């Protein structure tokens, strides 16, 4: 598979077949998983697919970790401060690679702080759905340090360590549809 299978033009994200999720350590023992349910994206595939662009925006209030109390705490100034920073944005800054394995260089903005982040990008192919639409699939993964984005809150544990890990794994699994 190669990005050359993608036709140039505008592609729309399919929100019902897209997941934006994260994983972070809790108490140094297990992982807490969460997702965001409200997001938009603009995808433009260039004639040279490595020159394509992506701009995505996530509504931070849509966070869901399966625990309402935790979600409410994550929305506060201790973490995302959604009152002052209601969105997280991702802007591609270039692509490189070949076959089905690529790197997406991007600028990620969380809590008003923008950092350069590289995502491992897997192109999973192109297909036609039963209604004649052309679809393409991607999985993008990266690991960030939340403190790089000003998310500092934590609580020490009596046994050593801290309540919340610093490393956050992000995964975006998406289908896009040719406009």
Domain count, the chain: 1
Whole-prediction pTM: 0.90
Nearest to 164 by CA among 34, 21, 23, 25: 25
Phi, psi (rounded to 5 degrees) for 62: -85, 10
Residue 1 predicted with pLDDT over 80 = no
Residue 94 predicted with pLDDT over 90 = yes
Q: In this predicted model, what pLDDT tens digit does every residue of 64-76 receive, in sequence order?
A: 999 999 899 999 9
The residue range of the domain holding 81 is 3-178
Q: Enumerate long-range contacts of 99-104, CB under 8 Å, 24 or more apart.
A: 99/1, 99/2, 100/1, 100/2, 100/124, 100/125, 102/3, 104/54, 104/140
Nearest to 146 by CA among 171, 170, 120, 172: 170
**CATH assignment of the domain containing 86:** 2.40.128.110
* Mean pLDDT score of the chain: 91
pLDDT confidence of residue 157 = 66
pLDDT confidence of residue 162 = 62
């Amino acid at each position: 598979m190669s990005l050359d299978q993608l036709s140039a033009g505008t592609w729309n994200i399919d929100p019902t077949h897209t997941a934006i999720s994260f994983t972070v350590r809790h108490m140094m023992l297990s992982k807490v998983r969460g997702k965001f349910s409200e997001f938009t994206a603009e995808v433009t595939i260039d004639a040279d697919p490595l020159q394509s662009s992506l701009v995505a925006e996530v509504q931070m209030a849509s966070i869901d970790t399966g625990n309402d109390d935790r979600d409410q705490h994550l929305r506060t100034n201790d973490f995302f401060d959604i009152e002052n920073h209601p969105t997280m944005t991702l802007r591609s800054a270039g692509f490189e690679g070949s076959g089905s394995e690529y790197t997406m260089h991007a600028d990620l903005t969380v809590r008003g702080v923008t950092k350069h982040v590289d995502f491992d990008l897997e192109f999973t192919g192109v297909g036609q759905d039963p209604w004649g639409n052309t679809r393409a699939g991607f999985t993008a993964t990266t690991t960030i340090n939340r403190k790089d984005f000003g998310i500092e809150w934590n609580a020490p544990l009596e046994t050593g360590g801290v309540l919340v890990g610093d490393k956050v794994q992000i995964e975006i699994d998406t289908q896009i549809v040719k406009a």
